[in-house]
Amino acid sequence: MTTKRPTIRDVAALAGVSVATVSRVLSGDYPVAGATRTRVQRAVRDLDYVVNAHARALSGATSKVVAIVMFNVTTPFYAHIAAGVEAQAAEADRLCLVCTTGGDPDRELEIVKLMREQHADAVILVGGVTMTDDYRERMHRYAKALEDANSRLVLCGRPAPSPDFPAVTVEYDNVGGAYAATSHLLSVGHRRIAFLGGAVGNTTFDGRDTGYRRAMAAFGATVDPALVSHHGSLGPEYGFARVGELLAAGTDFTAIFAVNDHVAAGAIRALRAAGKRVPDDVSIIGYDDTPFAPDLSTPLTSVHLPHDELGRTAVRLALQRTGPARQHVMLGTHITMRDSVRPLV
Amino acid sequence: MTTKRPTIRDVAALAGVSVATVSRVLSGDYPVAGATRTRVQRAVRDLDYVVNAHARALSGATSKVVAIVMFNVTTPFYAHIAAGVEAQAAEADRLCLVCTTGGDPDRELEIVKLMREQHADAVILVGGVTMTDDYRERMHRYAKALEDANSRLVLCGRPAPSPDFPAVTVEYDNVGGAYAATSHLLSVGHRRIAFLGGAVGNTTFDGRDTGYRRAMAAFGATVDPALVSHHGSLGPEYGFARVGELLAAGTDFTAIFAVNDHVAAGAIRALRAAGKRVPDDVSIIGYDDTPFAPDLSTPLTSVHLPHDELGRTAVRLALQRTGPARQHVMLGTHITMRDSVRPLV
DNA sequence: ACGAGTAGTGTAAACGCTTTCTCGAGGCGT
DNA sequence: ACGCCTCGAGAAAGCGTTTACACTACTCGT
């Protein structure tokens, strides 16, 4: 088995031309006489020849691979960004290498090293991150190394650690989204709005916190610390437990702004378990506009993120080798209205 | 910028050894004197040297890449399989190339060709497919080509087109799962069970159809054609529309078996819209056990698939180069019970 | 003390492609 | 007619590794 694969040399021999000519026919843009071109193409077909990507990449051409590095692949948030990346990569005739970190910074380090080995022509780091000094320093090294390896680094959904950072960034507007969500609640009369926040220090969740507070301030509502919580886990358990606490403590609130839809789902569960109706008794608004949002027990109003566009823009930025080497794009968000918010009469 | 990257030659020079020695230190299992090894490792660190994966792959070593080809990356079904593949690949020190077809067979063809270029050491084709003669013939060619390119092909969630097909397959038991689901409904007294089926001719959905019919027969229930439908779209709209029809036609039924959870979600929507209660008036059972199943308006009972194990097994089979070149693994399913099924009194 | 291993290292030939030179053959302006 | 261009095609030099082969210097068994 495993018959030897034909090489460019075999094609050249069969077509009666030199390997250079075959290469030129295959790569396109170089003047080759029509007759020669046809002969080569015939030989390629007859031999069922395919180029060896490694040989091609080795001899100077680009690798045609974009890598996406993210937390996991199953969370809708990441999955949709990945979809955008994959789609745009495919359009640009690129393959897509997917790596997951599970949130482990050391794994991220390791993956970046692997990407250097692979000479990926773009590396896209997705998702918010908790910015420690160590992280900053380390990321700077990564980015430098990648730049030297002639790959473009793109930070997707997280800001650059410093202005001179050798990477392009594309983010969605966390502050704006949270501001809009909270304002929406406020504008229909809610004042006692609980905030179910994410991890403190994380660029993404800090932004949402800020948006919440700004909106409250803008409407002259005071932020009751008893109504604000932060937690690293972004699962339904958090929402469920936290709302249970609030209810048990008898803290008064008429609305909830949850840091994502999963947390919101847990919150709704807790509310129902306690005999509260949504949205009649408590209004709620989520974040991410996950696909299942419309099918929750109460169709959930949620902040919609430009997932797909985020992924696509990241790839576009990475591949466009002309123009400024560092740039920053901020994508907007909007609220998808469903039935989980009711005006306070 | 873009300073030249150090090569193995630079390392050799700095360490005062030959490139062969450096290579041997890097590749591990080969006798190298302790002192020399240390010196080389120091040079590697000082130069911040990383190997060039393309050069390595070109010169005979394996490519360390496994490719997964699937419909899309956002549907939980595929996402979870991909997660399994990625995890297992990472454990085997492999990178994971993800390609989506959007269901286009021509795109699948194109991708397989790309994988030949890449010399991926495993190519995993995920998901059911409609088996036309053309498909059979074409797939056979793909598989042969891949085998020649020294890659392993694995069919994941779809049977091999023929017994001599040069690929390994790993499937989950569609017939068994559907049989179990339908039996569950039957065993609590339901007889008028609507089946919301998938595309006819597709290996996956045909299996579920068979399971449904066998269970019905086993319990001596007759299959009313008016209660059975098939549709290629697997979205909520299908479930919503179909249940709407059933209701409008006044067809009598007490339970629904939906081909997946999305369709089930749509069905529930339609039921509620018509003032029916779930499960009090109509019981329903889904397929896939999607993560959002517990958070639907009625927590959905669903057939659980071994997504993760499916992906992992696929990779394991592909990478284990010893043992039979063609083999077949069938993974079992089970029902995750929630609140969407009520006994008929 | 001598030939046979063997551990440790070096040399150089692939691996399959791209790309820079080179060069020949026509076409054309004067 | 003659030099000059342009177009098409070939030769060959890499690209950065791995690895087969060769060689040296020991260590042993006899």
B72 shares a domain with B30: no
D14: residue with closest CA to C1': A59
What pLDDT score was predicted for residue A128? 75
Q: Has residue A337 been placed in a domain?
A: no
- Owner of token pair 């609030």: A246
For the segment A101-113, the average pLDDT, to the nearest whole number, is 86
B88 touches chain A (CB under 8 A): no
DSSP of B72-104: -SSSHHHHHHHHHHHHHHHHTT-EEEEEE-TT-
B198 shares a domain with B296: yes
H helix and E strand count, chain B: 12, 12
What pLDDT score was predicted for residue B2? 52
C-alpha distance from B309 to closest chain A C-alpha (Å): 15
Q: Has residue B26 been placed in a domain?
A: yes
Residue of A4, A73, A119, A260 to mutate when probing chain B, most B C-beta within 10 A:
A73
Express each pLDDT in B75-119 by its tens digit: 889 999 999 999 999 999 999 999 999 888 888 888 988 999 999
Q: Are strands B334-336 and B301-304 parallel, antiparallel or unpaired?
A: antiparallel
Q: Which of B310, B256, B308 is nearest to B286 (CA)?
A: B256
Q: Has residue A343 been placed in a domain?
A: no
B317 shares a domain with B293: no
B204 shares a domain with B239: yes
- Owner of token pair 């071109």: A37
Q: How many whole angstroms separate alpha carbon A263 and alpha carbon B283?
A: 28
Q: Has residue B218 been placed in a domain?
A: yes
Residue of B4, B5, B47, B50 to mutate when probing chain A, most A C-beta within 10 A:
B50
Q: Has residue A345 been placed in a domain?
A: no
Q: How many whole angstroms separate alpha carbon A180 and alpha carbon B277?
A: 35
Side chain identity at residue A233, one-letter code: S
**Who's near B238: CB < 8 A, 6+ residues apart?**
B196, B231, B263, B266
B39 shares a domain with B127: no
B312 shares a domain with B168: yes
> Is A58's CB within 8 Å of B53's CB?
no
Q: In whole numbers, what is the pLDDT of chain B averaged over residues?
A: 91
Express each pLDDT in A117-137 by its tens digit: 999 989 999 987 777 888 888
Q: How many whole angstroms separate alpha carbon A236 and alpha carbon A233?
A: 9
CATH number of the structural domain spanning residue B301: 3.40.50.2300
Which chain B residues are within 8 Å of A296, Cβ to Cβ? 292, 295-297
Cross-strand partners of A152: A122
Residues with CB under 7 A from strand D: A 16-21, 31-33, 35-37, 55, 58-60; B 4-5, 7-9, 19-20, 22-24, 26-27, 49-52, 55-56, 58-61
Q: Which of residues 98-157 of A touch B (CB under 8 A)?
A: 98-100, 113-114, 116-119, 145, 147-150
Helix H, strand E, coil C: the string for B267-328 is HHHHHHHCCCCCCCCCEEEEEECCCCHHHECCCCEEEECCHHHHHHHHHHHHHCCCCCCCCE
A92 touches chain B (CB under 8 A): no
Q: In whole numbers, what is the pLDDT of chain A averaged over residues?
A: 91
- Count interface pairs A-B at CB distance under 8 A: 140
B61 touches chain A (CB under 8 A): no
Q: Has residue B71 been placed in a domain?
A: yes
Express each pLDDT in A51-75 by its tens digit: 999 999 998 768 899 999 999 999 8
Q: Has residue B57 been placed in a domain?
A: no
What is the b/e burial string over A228-261, where b = at least 16 CB atoms within 10 angstroms of the residue's CB?
bbbbeebebebbbbbbbebbeeeeebbbbbbbbb
What pLDDT score was predicted for residue B232? 87
More confident residue, B146 or B197: B197
B282 shares a domain with B181: yes
B196 shares a domain with B98: no
- With beta carbons less than 8 A apart as the criterion, state whether A121 and A60 touch: no
For the segment B209-236, the average pLDDT, to the nearest whole number, is 95
Q: Has residue A341 been placed in a domain?
A: no
B198 shares a domain with B285: yes
Count of domains in chain B?
Answer: 3
Angle between helices A34-47 and A8-15 (to 10 degrees): 120
B209 shares a domain with B301: yes
Chain centroid, CA A82 distance in Å: 6
As a whole number of angstroms, the longest Cα–Cα distance in chain B is 87
Side chain identity at residue B180, one-letter code: A
For the segment B313-335, the average pLDDT, to the nearest whole number, is 89
Cross-strand partners of A155: A125, A169
Q: How many whole angstroms separate alpha carbon A90 and alpha carbon B72?
A: 13
For the segment B42-63, the average pLDDT, to the nearest whole number, is 89
What pLDDT score was predicted for residue B1? 45
B314 shares a domain with B289: no
B302 shares a domain with B179: yes
Cross-strand partners of B301: B285
Query: Structural domain of residue B26, as residue ranges?
Result: 8-51
* B273 half-sphere exposure, CB direction, 13 A CA radius: 15
Residue of A65, A91, A117, A123 to mutate when probing chain B, most B C-beta within 10 A:
A117
For the segment B226-239, the average pLDDT, to the nearest whole number, is 92
pLDDT at A198 over 80: yes
For the segment A139-148, the average pLDDT, to the nearest whole number, is 85
Q: How far is the CA of B33 from the C1' of C5 (A)?
A: 18
Q: Which of B304, B101, B63 is nearest to A83 (CA)?
A: B101
Q: Which of A128, A88, A96 is nearest to A288 (CA)?
A: A128
> Is A73's CB within 8 Å of B51's CB?
no
What pLDDT score was predicted for residue B63? 87
Q: How far is the CA of B192 from the C1' of C7 (A)?
A: 79
Lowest pLDDT segment from A30-39, A201-210, B255-264: A30-39
